Structure 1
Amino acid sequence: MKIAISATGPSLDAEVDPRFGRCQYFVIVDPDTMEFEALENTSQMASGGAGIASAQTVANKGVQAVLTGNCGPNAYQTLEAAGIEVITGVSGTIRDAVEGYKSGRFQATSGPSVDAHFGMGGGGTGMGGGMGMGRGMGRGMGRGMGMGPGMGMGPGMGMGPGMGMGPGMGMGPGILEQELEALKAQSQMIGQQLSEIMRRLDELEKKGK
């Protein structure tokens, strides 16, 4: 079997990169033989869709599991759809991460651990203010597609601020397609959240009668 680990360098002694979609390298390791292949992450500077593109890269390598520090919703959905186990919260060297995986020290993650734009840096063209709906709605969205404060339903029901695109990175070949896929995935998640909000509103209205 093979596992993919987000890495800061192309060796087993490199540190685990806490960002999956925007890590510097992917180290593909056979845990039984410790043979490995290092791939430079060509999506790390993309203006959008880095998580999906990175997930597709490791999926094409036939890995059964991904070990990383954090994994956003777009990457998580792509990996899950490919049947790849996702393990977050991993740190230390790549070698240590592999040993921890072999010893059963890690458990699979049940969802994304950060929002959709984790690791993109500051600045950029945000979409803050107005029409907000609270703070969070679980681990999936956080601050990814939020529209500012307002209409809060208590913790766990809203979408938070932000949608920053990071400092100007251009739109090279394939970036528009990646951005489109990322936005489609995010719109689907927002639709699901809106349905949950409406369901909860209906429940509260019935209880209030």
Structure 2
Amino acid sequence: MATIKIAFATNNGGLDDTIADRFGRTQTFTIVEVDTETGEIKNVEVVDNPGYAAGSGAGVKAAQTVAEKGAKVYAGPQPGPNAYAALQHLGVKVITITGTTVREALKIVLQQLKEEQ
């Protein structure tokens, strides 16, 4: 069994929340641990984004939070250039996705990861 943690930028958090429209200033991240072979959700955690109220450096703070939670993939709106560079440096794959729920985005992300193997 191979599991992976995927971080989604969310407004309030949870599987039925919608993907937020910003990365660095999103209110929460919904971290979903999922079995990559079966698609079974093993754990869901909602974490506050310290970048939400940051004076500056919101994107980098958000990227650090995603990495500290063990996420190997981030899915949501395109991060700004500094945040994108931070995610890349921290070994987090970026998948741009908007306009859907976390539950639906999870299906899309898993399909994309499968196709890349």
Same fold, judged at TM 0.5 (above): yes
> Higher strand share goes to which structure?
2
Tell me the equivalent position of 1:192.
Answer: none
| Identity in percent | 37
5+ residue gaps, structure 2: none
Structure 1 segments (4+ residues) deviating >4 Å: none
Could you list the per-position Cα deviations for residues 154-206 of structure 1 after superposition, in whole angstroms to 9, with x for gaps in the alignment?
xxxxxxxxxxxxxxxxxxxxxxxxxxxxxxxxxxxxxxxxxxxxxxxxxxxxx
Counterpart pick for 2:51 among 43, 61, 76: 43
Could you list the per-position Cα deviations for residues 102-139 of structure 1 after superposition, in whole angstroms to 9, with x for gaps in the alignment?
1228x99xxxxxxxxxxxxxxxxxxxxxxxxxxxxxxx
C-alpha distance in structure 1 between counterparts of 2:107 and 2:64, whole Å: 25
Q: Is the 8 A contact 1:65 1:85 kept in 2?
A: yes
State yes or no: 1:80 paired with 2:88. yes
- TM-fit CA distance, 1:28: 0.5
Q: Is the 8 A contact 1:31 1:102 kept in 2?
A: no
Residue identity matched to 2:109: Y
Q: Is the 8 A contact 1:25 1:39 kept in 2?
A: yes
- TM-fit CA distance, 1:52: 0.4
Residue identity matched to 2:10: A
SS at the partner of 1:3? strand
Q: Is the 8 A contact 2:97 2:105 kept in 1?
A: no
- Whose radius of gyration is greater, 1 or 2? 1
- Count of residue correspondences: 108
- What TM-score, normalized to structure 1? 0.48
C-alpha distance in structure 2 between counterparts of 1:80 and 1:91, whole Å: 24
- TM-fit CA distance, 1:56: 0.4
- TM-fit CA distance, 1:45: 1.8
- TM-fit CA distance, 1:19: 0.6
Tell me the equivalent position of 2:30.
Answer: 27
Tell me the equivalent position of 2:65.
Answer: 57
The structure with higher relative contact order (CA 8 Å, sep 6+) is 2
**Could you say what the CA RMSD is over the residues aligned between the two structures, in angstroms?**
2.0
SS at the partner of 2:99? coil
Residue identity matched to 2:59: G
Cα distance change, pair 11–89 in 1 and its aligned pair in 2 (3 A): closer
Tell me the equivalent position of 2:9.
Answer: 6
Residue identity matched to 1:12: L
C-alpha distance in structure 1 between counterparts of 2:76 and 2:13, whole Å: 15
